[in-house]
Chain A
Amino acid sequence: MIAATLAFYLFAALAIVGALNVIFQRNPVHSVLWLIFTFFNAAGLFVLLGAEFVAMILVIVYVGAVAVLFLFVVMMLDINITMVREGFFKYMPVGLLVGGILLAELIIVFAGWVMSDSAEAMRAAPAPDPSAISNTEALGLILYTDYVYLFQASGIILLVAMIGSIVLTHRTRTGVRKQVISEQNARRPSDTLEVVKVESGKGLQ
């Protein structure tokens, strides 16, 4: 058990180091790389909790897809650090205000933290027995059986958001030469070719 405890403190400490580096790095690309490092440590914590499915999904979705696009965008942006720093003192009061509100909210949430009476009993005896069912299967049963409508609704929300962003950024450009493969495949020799018998000494008219 001591190994698991040590691993927990290792992952937790590295996650905090990574998260701090995300905000303190001067170079935005380095920040994204530290963010990825933090994701990995979070995945490690999930594995220690026995939630290996969630850990793998975290790596696949956040590290393998979302962070790649993040990195992609941040690399393409030409961020000028001095220009970002320019209005630092002008905007500081607003930033401090937002930060203060968030901090106050967190304090209120944690101060009012109470454990439900039934929570302890539920933790002692989880509803499907963990030894009888793998956590992938348990998650599947909950998502696709008990909460299938909510699951579908969240899918539709994501789809609408995706279509919305495509519609907003889509522009039709003129003068773009584009290959239409179906048109190419539909061409017949008779559309484009003409076989001509040329009499000798006359040539084509």
Chain B
Amino acid sequence: MAELWTSYIWPVVWIVIQILMFLVPILIGVAYLTYAERKIISAMQMRIGPNVIGWFGLLQPFADALKLLTKETVLPTGASPVVFFLAPMITFSLAMLAWAVIPVNPGWVISDLNVGVLYLFAISSLGVYGVVMAGWASNSRYAFLGAMRSAAQMVSYEVSIGFIMITVLMTADTLNLSALVEAQAEPLFGFLPGWYFIPHLPMFVVFFISVLAETNRHPFDLPEAESELVAGFMTEYSSMSFALFFLGEYANMIMMSGMVSILFLGGWLPPYDVAPWNLIPGVVWFAAKIAFCLFIFIWVRATFPRYRYDQLMRLGWKVFLPLSLIWLALTAGFLVYFDKVPA
């Protein structure tokens, strides 16, 4: 009996506990990200924003969630029911799945995969399915057009994201995310932080813009451009299924910010390994970096007008793809020339 407990039941229970320790903060983070977005945008537009429910409107996200839960779930005529309800679940669970490999502190990771970078890339490339399935299953023209746009957009920007990831992991010489963060510990030239956004600055910018396109955020939110497509692929969704899409989109933003932090901003590492900086725990550094990226997401939303669709495609294929390819070749050449390639 004791053997059954130690070798079968306890490991499963322990994994469930670990998963909850990741998911609960993320879900709270998602709730307050929606609040932060409304507050920050209102501050930028000189409004007050939500301030009625709770102190400073802090309970607003929960009020919104309750409101959505009590609404009626509508299934459009001619819709394909299974696919229709599967789509929001896929979107939401994919955003959660990625956290299985993201390390938030040395050793604080559910699964320290050897191919963590590839896993992240695979999960983020699956995000398009939720959108396409929703658009098709809704049996509505607006939803279908939104889904088509989104599919083309996400597939296009994935290519440059992939090349940039290859560049970064060539520099770090690992596919393991924890090792990738550790590789950024060594200071650059002895005084700059070793985070990869400094040597790879152009790629950091390209990567961030591609992430905006990949998560369908402003200024690339064409799949849900209100003025043309109502709410794009979400047009026919209501109640809980809409809430899942909504949560999935914001959870995706947090996940992508985590990815940016690990690849370019040194994950849990402090900028300098000296007294005031390294006293702050790694988790706090990681959370602060994610929060910084999320702030840029919202800042961009409040600042930029929406792209036109053909310009978006042009940017992806004719600007970002060649740029990231050139940078890949440059990085490889640099590593070989300065003999930094490990045997």
Using a CB–CB cutoff of 8 Å, the interface residues on chain A facing chain B are 27, 29-30, 33, 36, 52-53, 56-57, 59-60, 63-65, 68-69, 71-72, 75-76, 134, 136, 179, 181
Contact = CB atoms under 8 A, between A and B. Distances in A.
B239 interface: no
A52 B314 CA distance: 35
Nearest to B82: A30
30 contacts: A27-B80, A29-B83, A30-B83, A33-B83, A33-B133, A52-B113, A53-B118, A56-B122, A57-B118, A59-B125, A60-B118, A60-B121, A60-B122, A60-B125, A63-B125, A63-B126, A64-B128, A64-B158, A65-B125, A65-B158, A68-B132, A69-B155, A71-B132, A72-B148, A75-B132, A75-B136, A75-B144, A134-B114, A136-B114, A181-B314
B119 to A, nearest CB: 6
A99 B77 CA distance: 39
Contact of A59 (B126, B128, B151): B126
Contacts of B310: 179
A56 B125 CA distance: 11
Contact of A53 (B115, B136, B151): B115
Contacts of B32: none
Interface in B226-246: none
Contacts of B126: 59, 63-64
B115 A68 contact: no
A127 to B, nearest CB: 18
A36 B129 contact: yes
A36 B129 CA distance: 10
Contacts, number: 62
B175 interface: yes
Nearest to A53: B115
Contact of B118 (A33, A56, A179): A56
Given A56-B119, A60-B125, A68 B83 contact: no
A57 B175 CA distance: 13
A65 B132 CA distance: 13
Chain B's interface size range is 20 to 34
Contacts of A53: 115, 118
A71 B136 CA distance: 10
Nearest to B113: A52
Contacts of B115: 52-53, 56, 136
A56 B155 CA distance: 17
B129 A68 contact: yes
B6 interface: no
A59 B122 contact: yes
Contacts of B144: 75
A68 B119 contact: no
B129 A65 contact: no
Nearest to B319: A181
B70 interface: no
A129 B192 CA distance: 39
Contacts of B113: 52
Interface in B98-120: 113-115, 118-119
A68 B175 CA distance: 25
Nearest to B117: A56
Contact of A179 (B155, B158, B311): B311
A136 B169 CA distance: 13
Contacts of A56: 115, 118-119, 121-122
A17 to B, nearest CB: 15
Contacts of B122: 56, 59-60, 63-64
B118 A68 contact: no
Contacts of A64: 122, 125-126, 128, 158
B129 A29 contact: no
Contacts of A63: 122, 125-126
Contacts of A33: 83, 133
Interface string B299-343: 000000000001100100000000000000000000000000000
Nearest to B121: A60
A191 to B, nearest CB: 23
Given A57-B118, A60-B118, 18 more contacts: A29-B80, A30-B80, A36-B129, A53-B115, A53-B118, A56-B121, A59-B125, A63-B122, A65-B125, A65-B155, A69-B155, A71-B132, A72-B132, A72-B151, A75-B144, A76-B148, A136-B114, A136-B175
A64 B132 CA distance: 12
Interface centre among A27, A52, A56, by most chain B C-beta atoms within 10 angstroms, is A56
Given A60-B118, A64-B125, A29 B136 contact: yes
